[in-house]
Amino acid sequence: MRAIATVSISGDLSDKLEAIARAGFEGVEIFENDLLSWGGTPEEVRELAQSLGLKIIALQPFRDFEAMPEPQRTRNLERAERKFELMKALGTDFLLVCSNTSNHAVDDPERAAADLREMAERAQAHGLRIGFEALAWGRHISDYRDAWDIVQRADHPALGLVLDSFHTLALDLPTDPIAAIPGERIFLVQLADAPVMDMDVLSWSRHHRCFPGQGRFSMASFMQALADTGYNGPLSHEIFNDSFRAAPPRETALDGMRSLILMENMAEHSPFFQSLPSPPVCDGVHFMEFTLDEESAAPLSHWLAAMGFCRIGRHRSKNIDLWQQGDMHVVLNFETDSFAHTYRLIHGISVCAMGFRVNDPELVMARASAFQARSYSGPIGAGELKIPALRGIEGSLIYLVDPETARDRQWRTDFELSAHDEQPDAGLARIDHISQVMPSTQLLSWQLFYKTIFDFEAGSEHELADPRGLVLSQAMTSRDGTIRLPLNASQATETLPGRFQAEHKGGVQQIALATEDIFATVDQLIANGLPLLDIPANYYDDLAARMDMDPELLQAMQDRNILYDRNEDGEFFQAYTPLFADRFYFEILERRGNYQQFGAVNAPIRLAAQSRQVSQSGSRR
Amino acid sequence: MRAIATVSISGDLSDKLEAIARAGFEGVEIFENDLLSWGGTPEEVRELAQSLGLKIIALQPFRDFEAMPEPQRTRNLERAERKFELMKALGTDFLLVCSNTSNHAVDDPERAAADLREMAERAQAHGLRIGFEALAWGRHISDYRDAWDIVQRADHPALGLVLDSFHTLALDLPTDPIAAIPGERIFLVQLADAPVMDMDVLSWSRHHRCFPGQGRFSMASFMQALADTGYNGPLSHEIFNDSFRAAPPRETALDGMRSLILMENMAEHSPFFQSLPSPPVCDGVHFMEFTLDEESAAPLSHWLAAMGFCRIGRHRSKNIDLWQQGDMHVVLNFETDSFAHTYRLIHGISVCAMGFRVNDPELVMARASAFQARSYSGPIGAGELKIPALRGIEGSLIYLVDPETARDRQWRTDFELSAHDEQPDAGLARIDHISQVMPSTQLLSWQLFYKTIFDFEAGSEHELADPRGLVLSQAMTSRDGTIRLPLNASQATETLPGRFQAEHKGGVQQIALATEDIFATVDQLIANGLPLLDIPANYYDDLAARMDMDPELLQAMQDRNILYDRNEDGEFFQAYTPLFADRFYFEILERRGNYQQFGAVNAPIRLAAQSRQVSQSGSRR
């Protein structure tokens, strides 16, 4: 059963239940605070859940119970009796008891077991069950193995174990011993992931948990050990996350469902295993589509031509141009009655679609559908090609094209192709990466979208210093490295991505194009009249001090405003255009050796230069 | 000399220097990244600083220098030579060298000393000096005592020690040994404070530093030990803080100046001691002033009357009413050509001023002036009383009245007082606390404002769960507890304070009034027709389960929508009005025993109830 705890979602209890049901969950844990602050009665919660098709699988948490001295012990049992009455009103038969964090608690497993046995006995008298969970910061019991020891000592049929991946993996406990626990003695499994952080486990847990797949915990080892137990009860998310508390409930619930489907797919021998269409083998970004008005057509066409692109075709039935260079295609969409136009109304002139080359587009569509992604089909003319497409989180499209169609048929079918111009290209061969901007509360949603549907991997997180605040950046990359999508978000509203988010509602802000010879390419671009972002001389002075650089190479870089990075894998050269119409910009780059990063060390230099450009153009608010 | 490092302030290098100069600093440390990303030359930085009257006291940091194996050692010395040239262009004679964090560094104090001696010798040849600082996460040198040991071993006149309060206090190092260091061997002192956090010291340092006085470090012990050394060089803030990076540069620089003035005042025997007018002895909130339009006059007057306030006067020359109950006065300002009107144009109907009773208003004004707070004087009629006033951070006023004037003369002079109505009061005797809302990037500014001028103490931080995100709350309280000002901020834009900030640009959102008998008072308010915020029955069921409560008392609370808290000091009862015009609300409370808190445990219940009210009134966006 797919379940989630109400604390994971924002809103009041009815907002939460509605969002949870709509995302397709079957079960819900009622986090007690959500009930206490709700205006309705427990009976009304039961009715609402029923009407939404949700089973209330647990009331939680019941705190600071076991191994207390008197009179707290007696008080605690009275408190339990009251909660049993509440559970009956709610229509749930299960109460989660988490290990005691009180300083008054006694370090005595026998006492803890006796108390839990007594509570279980009382629960059973009401037809109820309880489960015991080790909190990672429990006073005496913080390891699930100790909790399991106590459950065994208590030896009562109405008492079982609750496992939580966060409490297990945050303490770096081994997961192998889970496999030896009989599945029927596990009454509930809670799932949560988290980024790796070196901080106290309570704050980490209360603020930084995330859905499995969004963090860095070894969820696979947890899920595989769990599969060995034969456990077939609910898998339930329990996420405490500051951003989730502030995000729209339906978006969070959808992410939770995606995460759970991914987790179910992690161990083939588990009772809850669900087979999924395989993720695609990717073969690079095939094209980008810009949505433009007539006014921006000339300046962008000028830029494209200056970058060595050539206009090679015109759509047979639509107001759409096709440009090409090397392996790359650029589509300029001027339609006024289309998806592109709708997107333009919200986001302004922008990149409204990307095309990915994948081995089997229909299989990706099937996988995307399993993860509840939205597909898109636009109107097509007679004889034109139908290209499968998904909607990204902010509404732009991802077209999926197999390499063979991509090579030739796609363009020939839909476009009137013209003879190539004589103008030489600039040596730009492929789209290296495309950076997208989103609200910082949504970065994890985008990450999970690309991870679940495309099996992209999350790179390391970078905090980039913009002159007006920090920018968080994390790249999602296809397994073979042919598609790279850095995600950028900033809580600060005056940074480059912060302003882009506020003014243009996010989307693609950067398009990075790769060359095999950045010096020749940049010379060509300059000769063609393409403006490049000015890099301060101070940067090159420092580069000379920091690194052992050939002075001639350094001078060649400085002459061309080329930035540089180097690591043990290789070298990296990058140059930037200014912002086009205060919206998006292009990067020109060359990778040497096996350098796989994005030059994060240079980002503050680039962000400051862009900030100067924006100041000068007078468009800063 | 008062100084600050450029990294502490947002913007590009010229924004930073201008803000720093405008706040009255005399010196500035150039954080090298700010220079690298700047478009101008080092010579232009020197000229800009000169024109602003700023001395560049340091270039910083020079990293990973000492105790490296070859060939890095030689490379490092070459790197130093390049930076010496840069320093000359910048016009600074001092370079900050921080302890090596590289894994390649050798654990050999003699080697470290020899390398620093070599570097100092080379610096001296250029007429320059260097200072060595222990980073708290240095590979082999993380304690200022070890750095001092190495400086002594190197024994070179161009090499001195750099002390940083963060690196000292974050590791909880004793400050007493500082006192034994000769002041002339300390070349620079950097100041930073921080909240107490249980996380890795590098992340703590890079993201959570704050100005001294805004955090929890024992800055007094650091400053006193420093005074013992006789050090008389620059005191320089070096703050890495995510919010400061995003905040307006001038506001941050002003906070930095306030903080530095506070620090200079910490040790009477220090060379940099500056005497300040004493902070006030407070005697409670004397009055609140609402700015209103004619439309809101009747409904708010109705509420005030229902709360037991009585209209007792009319201003002699202005469209202002005076209300009273017990020790409290409420001023309703309907002027259309006044400060109150200007404030209303920005913030809507609101609390535009508070009056504090203080022993010596003019002394507070002098202290406020020393801390660069803005004073306010409005037009007054002939024979009317001039009451000193300060501007708060968002622009509202704080009037200062001595108890004697407050008792009688103030109102009698300016107002035509009428005979009291017959209506009995409701037992509300004093203003217990007033809560203000601000952007989360500004919470520390407000805290420092009240701390420096009024010597208010910061209470513990609470994270309150609103249904739509977390709210950070921290109270500033006068030493005697008679004035309490909780500060509330939320990064989430849909929480109650988040919406208030977005829609009304912050200010007072809550006014809490104290009674000695909350049951009698609430009965009276209900009888008078005052609406109260509905508290769910689930809350009381849980209260009964959690606490040993007299069932009759519990029932009496539930009947009256009274919330409850208890701690080792005493008991707390509280009830709320709904939001008035979707803006502010009143709390009615009773403290029993020595309870000094604000019932944070009940805040989620209150926030959810307010959220329901806003939903029902249809004003949620």
Query: pLDDT digits over A285-331, tens only?
Result: 999 999 999 999 999 999 999 999 999 999 999 999 999 998 899 99
- CB of B136 within 8 A of CB of B162? no
- CB of A403 within 8 A of CB of A480? no
The pLDDT of residue B621: 36
β-pair type (B415-417, B397-401):
unpaired
User: Furthest-apart CA pair in chain A: how many Å?
Assistant: 92
Quick one: pLDDT band at residue B548, thresholds 50, 70, 90?
A: confident
SS3 for A565? Answer: strand
Quick one: pLDDT band at residue A422, thresholds 50, 70, 90?
A: low
What torsion, rounded to 10 degrees, do the Cα atoms A489, A495, A498, A503 define?
A: -150
Q: How far is A435 from A587, CA to CA, in rounded Å?
A: 10
Quick one: pLDDT band at residue B326, thresholds 50, 70, 90?
A: confident
Neighboring chain A residues of B36 at a CB cutoff of 8 Å = 536, 538-539, 542, 604-605
Q: Check A536 against B612: CB less than 8 A apart.
A: no
Q: Is B556 on the interface with A (CB under 8 A)?
A: no
Q: What is the set of domains in chain A, with CATH numbers?
A: 2-264 (3.20.20.150), 282-417 (3.10.180.10), 428-616 (3.10.180.10)
State both tokens at B236: 């320089």
The pLDDT of residue A382: 82
Verify cis geometry, omega within 30 degrees of 0, for the bond prior to A71: yes
pLDDT at B422 over 70: no
Q: How far is A550 from A558, CA to CA, in rounded Å?
A: 12
Which of B36, B252, B470, B565 best probes binding to A when mutated, by most A CB atoms within 10 angstroms? B36
Can you tell me which residue has the tokens 């029902």?
B616
Q: How far is A437 from A440, CA to CA, in rounded Å?
A: 9
Instruction: Average the pLDDT over A44-60 and give the result.
Output: 98
SS3 for B484? Answer: strand
The binding site of B for a divalent metal cation consists of 133, 164, 190, 238
- CB of A580 within 8 A of CB of A300? yes
Nearest to A538 among B38, B493, B536 (CB): B38
pLDDT at A419 over 80: no
- CB of B312 within 8 A of CB of B546? no
Q: Is B546 on the interface with A (CB under 8 A)?
A: yes
The pLDDT of residue A127: 98
- CB of A424 within 8 A of CB of A475? no
Nearest to A246 among B40, B468, B536 (CB): B468
SS3 for B291? Answer: strand
Quick one: pLDDT band at residue A180, thresholds 50, 70, 90?
A: very high
Q: What is the pLDDT of residues A319-344, one digit of tens each?
A: 999 999 988 999 999 999 899 999 99
Q: Check A245 against B469: CB less than 8 A apart.
A: yes
Q: How far is A454 from A446, CA to CA, in rounded Å?
A: 12
Interface of A with B in 226-245 (CB under 8 A): 242, 245
Mean pLDDT, chain A, as a whole number? 95
pLDDT at B618 over 60: no
- CB of B289 within 8 A of CB of B354? yes
pLDDT at A209 over 70: yes
Q: How far is B155 from B177, CA to CA, in rounded Å?
A: 19
Q: Is B541 on the interface with A (CB under 8 A)?
A: yes
Phi-psi region of B200 (alpha: psi -120 to 50; beta: other; left: phi over 0): beta
Q: Is A88 on the interface with B (CB under 8 A)?
A: no
State both tokens at A193: 């992931």
Neighboring chain A residues of B469 at a CB cutoff of 8 Å = 10, 242, 245-246
Amino acid of residue B143? D
Q: What is the pLDDT of residues B439-451, one digit of tens each?
A: 999 999 999 999 9
Q: Is A183 on the interface with B (CB under 8 A)?
A: no
Mean pLDDT, chain B, as a whole number? 95
Q: Is B198 on the interface with A (CB under 8 A)?
A: yes
Closest CA to B211 of B186, B239, B235: B239
Q: What are phi and psi of A229, to 5 degrees?
A: -75, -20
Q: Which 8-state DSSP code applies to residue A37?
A: T
Which of A63-67, A544-548, B113-117 shows the lowest mean pLDDT across its residues? A544-548
Q: Is A576 on the interface with B (CB under 8 A)?
A: no
Sheet with A397-401, strands from edge to edge, namely: A375-376, A389-391, A397-401, A350-358, A282-291, A328-333, A320-325, A310-315, A415-417
Q: Which 8-state DSSP code applies to residue B175?
A: S
Neighboring chain A residues of B78 at a CB cutoff of 8 Å = 545
CA distance A41 to chain B (A): 7
Q: Check B200 against A199: CB less than 8 A apart.
A: yes
CA distance A54 to chain B (A): 21
The pLDDT of residue A381: 79
Instruction: Average the pLDDT over A363-388 and give the result.
Output: 92
Q: Check B468 against A605: CB less than 8 A apart.
A: no
A164 is in an annotated binding site: yes
Neighboring chain B residues of A35 at a CB cutoff of 8 Å = 538
A416 is in an annotated binding site: no
Nearest chain A residue to B43, by CA: A538
Nearest to A534 among B35, B39, B82 (CB): B39
DSSP for B19-72, please give it: HHHHTT--EEEEEHHHHHT-SS-HHHHHHHHHHTT-EEEEEEEE-S-TTPPTTH
Angle at Cα A220 formed by Cα A219 and Cα A221, nearest 5°?
95
Closest CA to A234 of A369, A343, A94: A94
Return the bridge partners of A575, or none.
A588
Quick one: pLDDT band at residue B619, thresholds 50, 70, 90?
A: very low
CA distance B461 to chain A (A): 14
Interface of A with B in 267-296 (CB under 8 A): none
Quick one: pLDDT band at residue A410, thresholds 50, 70, 90?
A: confident
Q: How far is B31 from A238, CA to CA, in rounded Å?
A: 43
Cite the DSSP H helix spans in A371-494. 403-404, 410-414, 443-454
Closest CA to A537 of B11, B83, B38: B38
Percent of chain A with pLDDT over 70: 99
Nearest chain A residue to B492, by CA: A246
Which of A538, A542, A546, A563 best probes binding to B when mutated, by most B CB atoms within 10 angstroms? A538
pLDDT at B321 over 80: yes
CA distance B468 to chain A (A): 5
Quick one: pLDDT band at residue A421, thresholds 50, 70, 90?
A: low
Neighboring chain B residues of A75 at a CB cutoff of 8 Å = 548
pLDDT at A620 over 50: no
Instruction: Average the pLDDT over A395-410 and give the result.
Output: 92
Amino acid of residue B178? I
Which of B250, B466, B491, B538 best probes binding to A when mutated, by most A CB atoms within 10 angstroms? B538
- CB of A356 within 8 A of CB of A458? no
Q: Which residues contact A448 (CB under 8 A, 6 or more apart)?
A: A211, A213, A214, A255, A258, A259
Instruction: Average the pLDDT over A536-562 and give the result.
Output: 96
Nearest chain A residue to B85, by CA: A541
State both tokens at B274: 């500056």
Nearest chain A residue to B533, by CA: A39
Which of B18, B32, B37 best probes binding to A when mutated, by most A CB atoms within 10 angstroms? B37
Q: Is B533 on the interface with A (CB under 8 A)?
A: no
Other beta carbons less than 10 A from residue B460's beta carbon: 10
β-pair type (A563-567, A570-576):
antiparallel
Closest CA to A606 of A527, A523, A535, A521: A535
DSSP for B294-345, please give it: HHHHHHHHHHHHHTT-EEEEEESSSSEEEEEETTEEEEEE--SSSHHHHHHH
ipTM score for this prediction: 0.94
Q: How far is B259 from B273, CA to CA, in rounded Å?
A: 14
Instruction: Average the pLDDT over B64-78 and give the result.
Output: 96
SS3 for A284? Answer: strand
Q: What is the pLDDT of residues B383-419, one digit of tens each?
A: 888 999 999 999 999 999 999 998 878 899 999 998 7
The pLDDT of residue A621: 36
User: Whole-angstrom distance between the N-terminal and C-terminal Cα of chain A?
Assistant: 51
pLDDT at B44 over 80: yes
Sheet with B397-401, strands from edge to edge, namely: B375-376, B389-391, B397-401, B350-358, B282-291, B328-333, B320-325, B310-315, B415-417
Chains A and B form CB pairs within 8 A to the count of 146
Can you tell me which residue has the tokens 């939205």?
A374
Can you tell me which residue has the tokens 């260097």?
B130
Nearest chain A residue to B41, by CA: A538
Instruction: Average the pLDDT over B509-520 and give the result.
Output: 98
Nearest to B11 among A33, A40, A468 (CB): A468
Quick one: pLDDT band at residue B331, thresholds 50, 70, 90?
A: very high
Nearest to B36 among A10, A491, A539 (CB): A539
Q: Which 8-state DSSP code applies to residue A199?
A: B
Q: How far is B578 from A42, CA to CA, in rounded Å?
A: 24
- CB of A112 within 8 A of CB of A67? yes
β-pair type (A484-489, A428-437):
parallel
Q: Check B534 against A604: CB less than 8 A apart.
A: no
Q: Model-level pTM?
A: 0.95
Neighboring chain A residues of B242 at a CB cutoff of 8 Å = 469-470, 491
- CB of A500 within 8 A of CB of A620? no
Which of A233-247, A264-278, A371-385 shows the lowest mean pLDDT across its residues? A371-385
The pLDDT of residue B620: 39
Query: How does B97-136 read in b/e, with b if 16+ C-beta sit within 10 Å?
Result: bbbbbbeebbeebebbbbbbbbbbebbeeeebbbbbbbbb
Q: How far is B258 from B369, CA to CA, in rounded Å?
A: 10
Quick one: pLDDT band at residue A618, thresholds 50, 70, 90?
A: low
β-pair type (A585-593, A570-576):
antiparallel
Instruction: Average the pLDDT over B520-524 and give the result.
Output: 98
Q: Is A548 on the interface with B (CB under 8 A)?
A: yes
